[in-house]
Structure 1
Amino acid sequence: MMATKPLVMITGAGTGIGKASAQAFSKAGYPLLLLGRRLDVLEGLGLPDSVCLSVDVRDREAVVAAVGKGEAVHGPVDCLVNNAGIAALSRVEEQDPAEWRDLLDINCLGVLNCMHSLMPAMKERRHGTIINISSIAGRKSYPYHDVYGGTKYFVHGVTEGARRSMAPHDVRVIVVSPGLTELEISGTMHNANARDFWQAGKDAVGAISPDDVANTILFAYQMPQNVILQELTITPTRQEY
């Protein structure tokens, strides 16, 4: 039986903000299309009315196929929480160039692949919301955030462009930029100095919960379709920069 609320697609749904978003939208009664690297983790969330698929967002054809599978069960995707990303922090000159490729492919091309898989149909229906998860590092420069920050500046730029092109078709494109958040990202930082810098900042000002970010995302989506919160930045109160 098809759910009465529209389908919400969440990438990187197995951990952090993606996981919290899946739980928040599920609690609000939305059916879900959950994409992530590990199918067992997605299914382990135990959320009702969920289609869980192991998909690499770098694979455009796999993303398109996943959308088709989710929509066959629950109807058109009305909201995309474009969350999948990595945070390999380092200075450019200290970073393994292989990490540049991963950052660009996942944080940039992955975002585009997911947007492209949904935008034409949303445009035709004149309804839908795309929420791109960026970072405060996409607005401000931080030490050891060289390439990572560049990918998040990209997310801001492409969101702004897409928002302007989709607005006449009543489709919303939103960017959400969390500051220091309680996430399992330090394990992805191979540069010890970058890891120490990130941890020192977290120790100094604290970190917000992924649940707080997820609830903000849900709030933005549940505004009337003719209302858009174009850009949202959410940080610990003590994060001054």
Structure 2
Amino acid sequence: MKKLVVITGASSGFGMEMAKQFSADGHPLLLLARRVEKMEALNLKDTMCRKVDVTDAKAFENAVREAEALYGQTDLLVNNAGVMLLGNIESQDPLEWKKMLDVNVMGVMNGMQIVMKDMKERKSGTIINLSSIAGKQPFGNHAAYCASKYGVTGLTAVARAEMSPHNVRVLSICPGAVSTELLGHTTDQGIIDGYNEWKETVGAINITASDVAATIKYAYDLPQAVSLREIIITDTMQDA
């Protein structure tokens, strides 16, 4: 059996596609999300599914330890869980800002803290954090989302510096516009309509969650000595 892969936000989008691809390659999996029935419906071999909110550090750690007791130590953690609540700074509900920062930043930090010590001691392992192109450049109506994803980009860089002397890879994946459930989190229908119109206008509609998952798996499958530190992946026709 291959080594354990832990994926958060595995009930849809990138997470679900990664689960399928890593399972097909023979990896045991721990899949984490709030919609456990979506993960269980995949019916993947050697897979543990747990209903976990990544902002609950204790529940997150308990699930990881349970999976490690069955499948061995975590070799790959993919911090994929995230929310995108687009809005204008002037009018957006601050509770939406807090939710994005809690899930998108604190959730990632919780995951890293759970596995870093063990990976450092073993001098092996990979952490992949899902940032966004919005963690590299600004977009209108993305203020708090950009803040959260810039945060992921920054903390990934710091963790990489801390872990690279111990032969542990810490990678940042920055996808552009991809059709997933993520946009459905936004509560402003006008912003949703404008975002979809923009995607149609620039033609950024052909890239899929499966494409992003395959890119992530490629980065992991490279030798441990090879670190694709940061990957920006977009539809070829996305020009911003």
TM over 0.5: yes
Q: Give secondary structure in 2 for the equivalent of 1:92.
A: coil
Following superposition, which runs of at least 4 residues in structure 1 exceed 2 angstroms of deviation? Answer: none
| Residue 130 (structure 1) aligned to one of 109, 112, 127 | 127
Q: Does 1:25 align with 2:54?
A: no
Q: CA deviation at 1:41?
A: 1.0
- The number of equivalent residue pairs is 238
1:225 corresponds in structure 2 to 224
**Paired amino acid for 2:76:** C
Q: TM-score, normalised by structure 2?
A: 0.97
What whole-Å deviation, never above 9, does each CA across 1:53-82 have from its counterpart, x for those lacking one?
000000000111011111011000000111
What whole-Å deviation, never above 9, does each CA across 1:187-216 have from its counterpart, x for those lacking one?
211123321221112212233100000000
What whole-Å deviation, never above 9, does each CA across 1:135-175 have from its counterpart, x for those lacking one?
10000100110000110000000000000110000000000
Provide the C-alpha distance between the structure 1 equivalents of 2:38 and 2:66, rounded to a whole number of angstroms. Answer: 19
| Residue 196 (structure 2) aligned to one of 183, 196, 199 | 199
2:49 corresponds in structure 1 to 52
| Residue 168 (structure 1) aligned to one of 159, 165, 172 | 165
**Paired amino acid for 1:87:** M
Q: CA deviation at 1:29?
A: 1.0
| Residue 119 (structure 1) aligned to one of 110, 116, 121 | 116
Q: CA deviation at 1:97?
A: 1.0
Structure 1 alignment gaps of length 5 or more: none
Q: TM-score, normalised by structure 1?
A: 0.97
Identity, in percent, stands at 46
Structure 2 alignment gaps of length 5 or more: none
Provide the C-alpha distance between the structure 2 equivalents of 1:105 and 1:171, rounded to a whole number of angstroms. Answer: 25
Point out the more displaced range, 19-28 or 196-205: 196-205
**Paired amino acid for 1:224:** P
Q: CA deviation at 1:25?
A: 0.6
Name the Cα RMSD after superposition.
0.8
2:212 corresponds in structure 1 to 213
**Paired amino acid for 2:204:** G
1:37 corresponds in structure 2 to 34
2:175 corresponds in structure 1 to 178
Q: Does 1:158 align with 2:155?
A: yes
